[in-house]
Structure 1
């Protein structure tokens, strides 16, 4: 069966019906596929849900001729984001262990901080790798422009350009949102 997904700036009935049919036909299969990948039925259910939510919020129309191949591709992206989030959470919790004074934050403050870190990571992942590395060296490691230039084997002028580009990426993303 072919599925036509219309733009979803707001979920329209045609789009919703297509997703409903796709969900009914393939949710069980997708859940099983994710369960094998994750080893956890609960996480698989969450990520299957996230996969279908991505489809509901798509802006461009698509014609799905191979639903399982399509769902696998979308679910792999959701799964990659899941693993990246786990890495960031782990690094955050390791930092808390190393800096107990940071542990005095409330649960709400910790959640907000973690979400902010995830958003910054998402924004920086849109940048070329050298730009991201320069920004992280400056912000996390406190390296000077000259140290970053030596580490990346680029000029100080290029380091400055990279830092401006990374800063603009974060700033303008916050202004737009």
Structure 2
């Protein structure tokens, strides 16, 4: 299936992304999802349609991830502009921490806890406002935020405890 459809899918992605490297990466990610998925490959009647569904979902996830990263970077830039006394080392450390937190949020947390955390931290919404947007109770919002914070704390703490490999 890879040999029969890889070139076609990469070309389709290249037209949308306008970047051959990103298209190649996303094409490989699509086939990886196909292989790791529950759908038996022999049962696929329309493999290209199925590949398009997977690739489209990956494109949407990529777009959402970029939006989150851009908003977080805007927030950090605003914060740094108000604190002129920060040195280059502090700015670099803040940027590295931000990248780590974004990776944890986007790659590892379920959708609702991730969205609740971003609405609270980036948009400054109240529990009630977040609950309305997510169609959940304020109690659920509190649980989502606690889960997101605990997850980020645990993962960041674990990464700090890991000895460097040489």
**8 Å CA contact retained: 2:72, 2:122:** no
Between Structure 1 and Structure 2, the one with more helix by share is 2
- Determine helix, strand or coil for the equivalent of 2:143: helix
| Other-structure match for 2:13 | 34
**8 Å CA contact retained: 1:47, 1:75:** yes
How many residue pairs align between the two structures? 142
Relative to 1, partners in 2 of residues 1:111 and 1:165: Cα closer, same or farther, differing over 3 Å? closer
* Shift of residue 170, structure 1, vs aligned partner: 7.5
| Other-structure match for 1:68 | 48
| Other-structure match for 1:117 | 105
| Other-structure match for 1:160 | 139
| Other-structure match for 2:158 | none
Give, in whole Å, the separation in 1 of the partners of 2:21 and 2:147: 38
Consecutive unaligned residues in structure 2, runs of 5 or more: 81-85, 155-166
> What does 1:13-24 correspond to in 2, within 5 Å?
22-24=1-3
- Determine helix, strand or coil for the equivalent of 2:37: coil
> TM-score normalised to the size of structure 2?
0.65
| Other-structure match for 2:77 | 97
**8 Å CA contact retained: 2:26, 2:55:** yes
* Shift of residue 141, structure 1, vs aligned partner: 5.2
CA RMSD, 1 decimal: 3.7
> TM-score normalised to the size of structure 1?
0.62
**8 Å CA contact retained: 1:96, 1:103:** no
**8 Å CA contact retained: 1:89, 1:114:** yes
